[in-house]
């Protein structure tokens, strides 16, 4: 496209953000607060990306938010929400403090308490012969994570000079896999499996997972897990409200076809063209889509350097998922379920389990190998109507299994629907290992597939964590916020980190690039912002508005 001066005269946005995941929304808040005129474009009919919520027969589900960590005053996620100016609008429930994670490994059981010292005590009690190794390993995990968090704050020649001394633990283990490091420290096979169980939070088997990344994941939950009151949509609502208060716009059902460029040798982004044909111009563009969609779909390989094309060809994306959403009319607490998540795995080597999860043929009628199970109505008591519980069960698989369905349109083909039914049945069989009588209590069921992920979230091959989080694709090897295309930036799970907090911080980093501000400058906040934290397992201190909300919900089901 040729540029004319009138293009810029028509430009009435400083920044257009493609995609309304929490990374894009975070960037939009910081930029609009700085006085920029910001437009966020979302292809779906609701904003939020993985963080959005949806309803099935009146019951809420959130596909990408299952727990968040480091939410107490002074901790990193809390600092981000305070800096965004949305902390006062958020209420989180602390999941079971004595067991925010329940580990089911074959017939073995272990609970992760939401406190570092309690975790050490619980592990030592269970594995007394490994006491020294447990303490050494968990302290290493905590130290490596702390050193990772130091890096964005390093400034100036002398501070850079001291990096090797300030990050000695990370430097020593940075190039090794989780499996390699844990094998050096821990001997007991079951203990290794327990400590590796959260590999599901980054979707990579221990032999491929980066040890520092796994440290960051474990450390994120050393003080427990929290779930938002109102589900992921509550976070999204707080963020979109802040954007609008700052004069920004969030438009849904706006599918971007391509990013408009000008210039022959040095390309410059000047706007976007929607699928409708409408063109919108801006001084800069931020893509919250993954690198593959951003560069290969929105930009086009012909506009990229040879170096970037090679990087894209070598980039691997995370595994994809099956998500089973269930509404059940049973007393889950009486069945032993609480607000803690459940990791359900066979008592086998985790790498072997992961490989079987990725096997190309899953058309047998056996149960799924591994599963993550959570009950949102127990994590968020405000969503429980007194009768029905909402369950989200997730497993991972290779996208190749769904390759033949990649061009599925509405209405879905009979073959696809039959395959979904087969997989739904396999998922329910796995759930029966935890809740043997669940089948007779299912009121509604729906299965989200990799095709669902592509359709609603617009991810490459339905990936759940953006780029695969192996060593050669994270940290200094990850895609950068500032692209080789002038005035084009990226944010999201493939830039800084994945998860609700990681993606949120990516938006902060991208905004910092544009505003020429450091992370610490953007994180500065007054004392007027504070997240409300309540207990999912104890309702005695609930505020009046919450008790009223709970009672109203129960009253509706009784009168229906």
Domains of the chain: 10-91+229-315+471-522 (3.50.50.60), 116-223 (no CATH), 319-457 (no CATH)
Asked if the model's pLDDT at residue 150 lies above 90, the reply is no
Extract the tokens encoding 394: 């997730």
Cα torsion 79, 80, 83, 84 to 10°: value is: -150
The residue count of the chain comes to: 560
Give the helix ranges, DSSP H, for 186-336: 189-196, 211-220, 232-245, 291, 306-314
Half-sphere exposure of 137 (CA within 13 A, CB side): 26
Q: Which of 82-91, 211-220, 298-307 has the least mean pLDDT?
A: 211-220
Write the burial class of residue 471 (CB in 10 Å: 0-12 exposed, 13-18 middle, 19+ buried).
Answer: middle
Residue 368 sits at φ, ψ, to 5 deg, of -70, 150
Percent of the chain whose pLDDT exceeds 90: 84
Residue 339 has what pLDDT? 98
What's the whole-number mean pLDDT along residues 167-172?
65
Residue 195 has what pLDDT? 97
Residue 361 has what pLDDT? 80
What's the whole-number mean pLDDT along residues 219-236?
97
Euclidean distance between CA atoms 213 and 208, whole angstroms: 11
49, 146, 169, 459 from 288: Cα distances, Å: 9, 27, 33, 10
Q: Which of 7-16, 317-326, 371-380 has the least mean pLDDT?
A: 7-16
Asked if the model's pLDDT at residue 264 lies above 60, the reply is yes
Reported confidence tier of residue 157, pLDDT bands at 50, 70, 90: very low
Of residues 6 and 487, which shows the higher confidence score? 487
How many whole angstroms from its chain centre is CA 255? Answer: 22
Euclidean distance between CA atoms 69 and 48, whole angstroms: 19
Q: Which of 152-166, 335-349, 486-500, 530-544 has the least mean pLDDT?
A: 152-166
Residue 239 has what pLDDT? 98
Residue 169 has what pLDDT? 62
Reported confidence tier of residue 337, pLDDT bands at 50, 70, 90: very high
Reported confidence tier of residue 360, pLDDT bands at 50, 70, 90: confident
Residue 377 has what pLDDT? 98
Of residues 208 and 165, which shows the higher confidence score? 208
The strand pairing partners of 256, in sequence order, are 274
The answer to whether 402 and 344 have CB atoms below 8 angstroms apart is no
Q: Which of 9-23, 77-91, 189-203, 494-508 has the least mean pLDDT?
A: 9-23
The strand pairing partners of 317, in sequence order, are 467
The answer to whether 210 and 465 have CB atoms below 8 angstroms apart is no
Average pLDDT of the chain, as a whole number: 92
The DSSP code sequence of 447-483 is EE-HHHHHHHH--GGG-SSSB--BGGGSGGGSPPSB-
Residue 166 has what pLDDT? 44
Reported confidence tier of residue 175, pLDDT bands at 50, 70, 90: confident
Percent of the chain whose pLDDT exceeds 70: 94
Euclidean distance between CA atoms 73 and 149, whole angstroms: 17
What's the whole-number mean pLDDT along residues 497-503?
92
Q: What is the pLDDT of residues 69-93, one digit of tens each?
A: 999 999 999 999 999 999 999 999 9
pTM comes to: 0.94
How many whole angstroms from its chain centre is CA 257? Answer: 25
Neighbours of 250 (CB within 10 A): 22
Residue 18 has what pLDDT? 98
Omega within 30 of 0 (cis) for the link into 404: no
Asked if the model's pLDDT at residue 3 lies above 60, the reply is no
Closest to 84 in 3D by CA, of 8, 30, 156, 40: 30
What's the whole-number mean pLDDT along residues 221-243?
98
Q: What is the pLDDT of residues 81-127, one digit of tens each?
A: 999 999 999 999 999 999 999 999 999 999 999 999 999 999 999 99
What's the whole-number mean pLDDT along residues 424-452?
97
Q: What is the pLDDT of residues 11-49, one digit of tens each?
A: 589 999 999 999 999 999 999 999 999 999 999 999 999
């Amino acid at each position: 496209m040729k540029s004319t001066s009138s293009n810029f005269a028509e430009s009435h946005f400083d920044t257009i953000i493609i995609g309304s995941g929490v990374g894009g929304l975070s960037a939009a808040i910081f930029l609009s607060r700085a006085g920029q005129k910001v437009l966020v474009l979302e292809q779906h009919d609701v904003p939020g990306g993985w963080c959005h919520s949806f309803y099935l027969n009146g019951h809420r589900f959130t596909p990408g938010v299952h727990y968040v960590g480091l939410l107490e005053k002074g901790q990193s996620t809390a600092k981000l929400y305070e800096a965004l100016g949305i902390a006062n609008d958020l209420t989180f429930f602390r999941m079971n403090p004595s067991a925010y994670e329940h580990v089911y490994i074959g017939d073995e059981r272990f609970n992760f308490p939401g406190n570092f010292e309690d975790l050490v005590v619980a592990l030592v009690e269970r594995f007394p012969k490994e006491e020294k190794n447990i303490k050494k390993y968990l302290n290493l995990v905590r130290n490596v994570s702390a050193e990772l968090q130091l890096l964005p704050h390093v400034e100036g020649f002398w501070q850079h000079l001291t990096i090797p001394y300030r990050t000695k633990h990370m430097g020593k283990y940075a190039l090794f896999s989780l499996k390699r490091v844990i094998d050096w420290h821990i001997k007991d096979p079951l203990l290794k499996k327990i400590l590796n169980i959260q590999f599901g939070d980054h979707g990579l088997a221990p032999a491929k997972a980066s040890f520092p990344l796994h440290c960051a994941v474990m450390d994120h939950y050393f003080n427990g897990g929290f779930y938002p009151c109102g589900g992921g949509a509550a976070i999204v609502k707080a963020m979109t409200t802040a954007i609008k208060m700052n004069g920004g716009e969030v438009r849904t059902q706006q599918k971007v076809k391509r990013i408009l460029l000008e210039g022959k040798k040095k390309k410059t982004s000047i706007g976007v063209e929607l699928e409708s044909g409408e063109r919108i111009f801006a001084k800069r563009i931020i893509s919250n889509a993954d690198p593959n969609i951003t560069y290969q779909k929105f930009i086009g390989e012909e506009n990229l350097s040879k170096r970037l094309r090679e990087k894209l060809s070598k980039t691997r994306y995370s595994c994809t998922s099956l998500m089973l959403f269930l509404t059940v009319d049973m007393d889950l607490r009486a069945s032993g379920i609480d607000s803690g998540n459940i990791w359900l795995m066979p008592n086998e080597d985790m790498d072997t389990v992961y490989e079987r999860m990725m096997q190309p043929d899953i058309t047998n009628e056996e149960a799924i190998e591994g599963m993550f199970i959570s009950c949102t109505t127990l994590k968020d008591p405000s969503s429980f109507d007194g009768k029905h519980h909402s369950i989200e069960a997730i497993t991972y698989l290779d996208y190749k299994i769904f390759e033949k369905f990649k061009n599925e349109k509405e209405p879905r083909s009979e073959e696809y629907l039959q395959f979904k039914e087969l997989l739904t049945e396999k998922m329910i069989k796995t759930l029966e290992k935890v809740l043997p009588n669940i089948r007779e209590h299912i009121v509604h069921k729906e299965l989200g597939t990799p095709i669902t992920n592509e359709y609603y979230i617009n991810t490459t091959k339905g990936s759940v964590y953006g780029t695969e989080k192996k060593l050669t694709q994270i940290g200094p090897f990850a895609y950068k916020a500032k692209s080789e295309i002038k005035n084009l930036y990226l944010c999201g799970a493939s830039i800084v980190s994945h998860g609700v907090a990681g993606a949120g911080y990516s938006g902060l980093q991208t905004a910092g690039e544009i505003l020429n501000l450091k992370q610490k400058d953007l994180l500065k906040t007054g004392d007027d912002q504070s997240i409300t934290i309540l207990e999912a397992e104890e309702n005695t201190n609930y505020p009046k508005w919450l008790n009223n909300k709970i009672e109203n919900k129960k009253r509706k089901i009784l009168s229906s």
